[in-house]
Structure 1
Amino acid sequence: MSPNQIGFALLILGLFLLLGKVIRVKVGWVQRLFLPSSIIGGFLILLLGPQVLGQLVPALSEAGVFTEEMRTVWVALPGLLISVVFATMFLGQDLPSPKRAANLVGPQLSLGVALGSSQYVVGLLLAALILVPVFSASPMTGALIEIGFEGGHGTAAGMRGVMEELGFTEGADLAVGLATVGIVGGVVIGIALINWGVRTGRTELLKGDVKASVDEQKGLFSKDEYYPAAQMTSRPASVEPLSLHMALVAVAILIGWGILEALRWIEAQTYSSVMLNDSTPLEIFAYVPLFPLALIGGVILQAIAAALKVDHLIDHQMMLRIQGWALDFLIVAAIGTLSLMAIGANIGAFTLLALAGIGVNVALFLWLAPRIIGRYWFERGIGDFGQSMGVTATGLILMRITDPDAKSPAFEAFGYKQLIFEPFFGGGMVTALAVPIIYLTGIWPLFFAMLLVFLVALGAGIFYYAPKAKVEREQARQDASAVTT
């Protein structure tokens, strides 16, 4: 494949991302669903590819209106871009004071870990009792709810190579499909929950009908709005700020790559000689992808910059722009190359996983969040619900709707929780290790490990944070009574 073919494939990907944005601006029902332009563009590619148009027009059965080289580039792209997404997560982030972080992060982390671990508990139990014996599915399907919902399109696509290497060829397509269900369901169900919360008085800040402006529905800023994209931290005559930040992302990924290679070398020199059976050595890090280590690389680079007192040169908003670019192109490519045949062949398992994932997320939000979070439980909990359905961006969208002026500590608490949560769930080490562990040991070891994590998170919330939440709400009521009298 020539460099020109690779470059042209990227240009076409950008064209369809722009077409997705045009549709978002022009089509009312798409606006009301808050569908990201990347998902729309990905579906356009899917419709014009070999799986839809190619089935209707035999002459286009090979690659649709595209070329095979384009599709080859698009299939490989998510596995590369996901490392960029994860490397940028903590670059430019200021660490909070320990006391304030501890007060806010406790119940938030308890809810987040309960949501993440429960997706494994429910998925693995479904796999053991129904999916494997009834649908002859792979035991590794038990990990797909967390990979698709909590991890999202990036994690799902990033795990493709690992799944294919372990013989779970349909796994990535099912995970990307679940990620699409999750992100759409997260916004639709989330907005329905917000309207219900407003009507029943469960929201502290919103007291009227939830309505987004026309510009918000279109995904545009109005002329009188100003939202700085990033801060200039270097003079362009020296180095373009975007180039500087891209270089820092590259260094973070290289640090993660060095860590992963070191872990693989240690594994090769130690326990990999142990055989689980006649043909399967005890190897875990051999199957771990790069992206969770890229996140750790970003944390290490940020810590080094802070120690050297040059962390002011790293702007988190700039990192968010780089992350957003990578995620948009990743989603277009992942959905555009999604295998509908793989989902169709496993439609029973896919439907059960999707319904189970939605059910456990809604149940934990409605039951656990109001018990363990004091004031603003709805505003704070809806962010974790959104993330558990369709990655961090969905959670941020729902929090912005419930708290448009950031009057509650929702955004702050959510950010603190991410510092501890992200290295493990939603594309972290637990997500990366889950599929190889199931492949090596079967369903039950990971099931019982995640059940223990779930029970610890639940117990900490109910027995430690719930009494504090009750006191906090009572104090708020007393303060409100004192003001009115």
Structure 2
Amino acid sequence: MSADSIGFALLLLGIILLVGKGIRITTPLVQRLFLPSSIIAGFLALFLGPEVLGALANAMGSDRFSEAGLFTPEILDVWSALPGLLISIVFATLFLGADLPSPRRVTRLVGPQLSIGVIFASGQYVVGLLLAVAILVPFFGSNPMTGALIEMGFEGGHGTAAGMRESMESLGFAEGGDLALGIATVGVVGGVILGVAFINWAVRTGRTECLDGTVEQSLSEQRGLFRDDENFPAATMTTRPASIEPLSLHFAFIAAAVIIGVVLLEALQAAEQWGVANVPGYDVEILSHVPLFPLAMLGGVIIQVLLQRTGHTGILDHQMMLRIQGFALDVLIVSALATLSLTAIAANWQPFVILCVAGIVFNVFVLLVLCPRIIGRFWFERGIGDFGQSMGVTATGLILMRIADPENESPAYEAFGYKQLVFEPFFGGGFVTAAAIPLIYAFGPVPLLVAMTIVLLVALGVGLFFYGPRGRREIREARATADVS
């Protein structure tokens, strides 16, 4: 494949993204759904590719577009390789430039939030694995690894689903990547639709503390644009461009984080292979199927800790990292959706529908039943963020929190942000997500089901019986203060 082909494939992705943004600006229905432009562009590329346009051309007896739609096989090859590369950049940037508070402070600030987050994530494993063991494997002949797809698609989102594709293919679960991407798409769309509906319901029934009246968004917000009088700087200059362009410096640190991840992963895989070759009775290989991106995230944490210890944290700006992360995620989503196999989803549509419905029902239960019993004050404003994240991606949760708390009156943003520091290394694309598929392949679904059930019960117990009473006490104190005033 020539460099020109790779370059043109990347340029074409940019054009498709631009068209997706144009659709977002000009289409009221899409605006009300708050669909990201990358999702719109991904669907457009999917429609113009071999799975839709190519299939239609083939059905009509035409050979003109039947092979790759409007694109070429070389372009699709480039796009199919991008998600596995870009996901490491997305995760390497998670903690670079961010303040890493002490574990004690994090625990004190976000205990209830972390309990809810763990309940969402571990519960999705429990629901998915129970379905796999009781229904999907015996009645539909599904691969046992389907039990991990709810958490991978809903909690992890498109990036994680695409990043895990190669691991699933290497373990004989080739359709897993397409099913996970389909679940992620259902999660993003369903998360926004249900989230906005629940916000309006909460406002009408008096369950919110930050809003009263009907939830409305300005036209500029629906279009995804800033008003002329709004000023949101993209990032802060941390070095003088005459020395090095700040964007180049931040990219260099991301590269270092990814390289650290590569070294760590290869060291772990070498240790495992040594054990397989030299330890009698040990023949299980798990790390050989673990992808790079969770180790790239750990590389970012290592760099950030070193910068904090040496007093050089000012050299990195987390907002700049978020812009790079957002760019990588947008390109990843478009390329992943463009190369999605609808054939694989259609061949497994019953398990796909069952997983999606079960995941949505569980998430709604956690939001409406468990959040008010665990979080206490501002339970809806804080819970809706985790609901959005558990249905789609972190950005979905932030969108819903901004709608529910536009003036930042609640501690939702702060608690959510600190929770991510503890939560992200494990779920939603962290080590648990990355190891789940190899673990199911090596030991079957039952051991992981037992482990996740224990995690779920611990999170429920801590949330309901420790943080729950504290939250109810805070509500009583707030009401007493309001009555006095």
Identify whether the pair has TM-score above 0.5, normalized to the shorter chain: yes
What is the alpha-carbon distance in structure 1 between the residues aligned to residue 387 and residue 403 of structure 2? 14
Provide the secondary structure at the position in 2 that maps to 1:416: helix
After TM superposition, the structure 1 = structure 2 runs for residues 90-169 of structure 1, keeping only pairs within 5 Å, are 90-96=95-101, 100-169=105-174
Check 1:140–1:191 CA distance in 2 against 1; reply closer, same or farther (3 A cut).
same
What is the alpha-carbon distance in structure 2 between the residues aligned to residue 439 and residue 432 of structure 1? 12
What is the alpha-carbon distance in structure 2 between the residues aligned to residue 360 and residue 275 of structure 1? 43
In the TM superposition, what is the alpha-carbon distance from 1:96 to its structure 2 partner? 3.4
What corresponds to 1:401 in structure 2?
403
1:171-198 C-alpha deviation (Å, 9 max, x unpaired): 0000000000000101000001101110
What is the alpha-carbon distance in structure 1 between the residues aligned to residue 119 and residue 192 of structure 2? 20
In the TM superposition, what is the alpha-carbon distance from 1:94 to its structure 2 partner? 1.2
What corresponds to 2:15 in structure 1?
15
What corresponds to 1:318 in structure 2?
320
Aligned residue type for 1:429: F
Check 1:272–1:453 CA distance in 2 against 1; reply closer, same or farther (3 A cut).
farther
Aligned residue type for 2:402: R
In the TM superposition, what is the alpha-carbon distance from 1:95 to its structure 2 partner? 2.6
After TM superposition, the structure 1 = structure 2 runs for residues 161-180 of structure 1, keeping only pairs within 5 Å, are 161-180=166-185
What is the alpha-carbon distance in structure 1 between the residues aligned to residue 383 and residue 105 of structure 2? 18
Check 1:99–1:17 CA distance in 2 against 1; reply closer, same or farther (3 A cut).
same
What is the alpha-carbon distance in structure 1 between the residues aligned to residue 382 and residue 152 of structure 2? 23
Aligned residue type for 1:430: V
Residue 34 (structure 1) aligned with residue 39 (structure 2): no
The share of aligned pairs that are identical, in percent, is: 64
Provide the secondary structure at the position in 1 that maps to 2:393: helix
What is the alpha-carbon distance in structure 2 between the residues aligned to residue 163 and residue 114 of structure 1? 25
Aligned mate of 1:464, from 466, 475, 484:
466
Provide structure 1 residue ranges, at least 5 long, that are not aligned to the other structure: none
What is the alpha-carbon distance in structure 1 between the residues aligned to residue 71 and residue 100 of structure 2? 46
In the TM superposition, what is the alpha-carbon distance from 1:99 to its structure 2 partner? 5.7
What corresponds to 2:256 in structure 1?
251
CA contact (8 A) 1:272 1:283 kept: no
In the TM superposition, what is the alpha-carbon distance from 1:322 to its structure 2 partner? 0.2
In the TM superposition, what is the alpha-carbon distance from 1:275 to its structure 2 partner? 8.8
What is the alpha-carbon distance in structure 2 between the residues aligned to residue 418 and residue 431 of structure 1? 15
What corresponds to 2:441 in structure 1?
439
What corresponds to 1:412 in structure 2?
414
In the TM superposition, what is the alpha-carbon distance from 1:273 to its structure 2 partner? 5.7
Aligned residue type for 1:192: A
What corresponds to 1:337 in structure 2?
339
Check 1:390–1:273 CA distance in 2 against 1; reply closer, same or farther (3 A cut).
farther
TM-score by length of 2: 0.97
Structure 1 window deviating more from structure 2 (384-393 vs 101-110): it is 101-110
What corresponds to 1:81 in structure 2?
86
CA contact (8 A) 1:273 1:282 kept: no
What is the alpha-carbon distance in structure 2 between the residues aligned to residue 322 and residue 8 of structure 1? 21
How many residues were matched structurally? 480
What corresponds to 2:212 in structure 1?
207
What is the alpha-carbon distance in structure 1 between the residues aligned to residue 226 and residue 188 of structure 2? 22
In the TM superposition, what is the alpha-carbon distance from 1:102 to its structure 2 partner? 2.6
TM-score by length of 1: 0.97
1:187-227 C-alpha deviation (Å, 9 max, x unpaired): 00000110111011110001110111100000000111110
* Alignment RMSD: 1.2
In the TM superposition, what is the alpha-carbon distance from 1:55 to its structure 2 partner? 1.4
What corresponds to 2:44 in structure 1?
44
Residue 449 (structure 1) aligned with residue 451 (structure 2): yes
Provide the secondary structure at the position in 2 that maps to 1:52: helix
What corresponds to 2:393 in structure 1?
391
In the TM superposition, what is the alpha-carbon distance from 1:168 to its structure 2 partner? 0.2
Provide structure 2 residue ranges, at least 5 long, that are not aligned to the other structure: none
After TM superposition, the structure 1 = structure 2 runs for residues 223-372 of structure 1, keeping only pairs within 5 Å, are 223-271=228-276, 281-372=283-374
What is the alpha-carbon distance in structure 2 between the residues aligned to residue 396 and residue 157 of structure 1? 22
Residue 424 (structure 1) aligned with residue 422 (structure 2): no
Check 1:98–1:151 CA distance in 2 against 1; reply closer, same or farther (3 A cut).
closer
User: Which 4+ runs in 1 deviate beyond 4 A?
Assistant: 97-100, 271-276
What is the alpha-carbon distance in structure 1 between the residues aligned to residue 373 and residue 109 of structure 2? 15
What is the alpha-carbon distance in structure 2 between the residues aligned to residue 15 and residue 374 of structure 1? 47
1:117-168 C-alpha deviation (Å, 9 max, x unpaired): 0000000010111111111110000000000000000000000110000000
Aligned residue type for 1:396: L
Check 1:298–1:459 CA distance in 2 against 1; reply closer, same or farther (3 A cut).
same
What corresponds to 1:5 in structure 2?
5
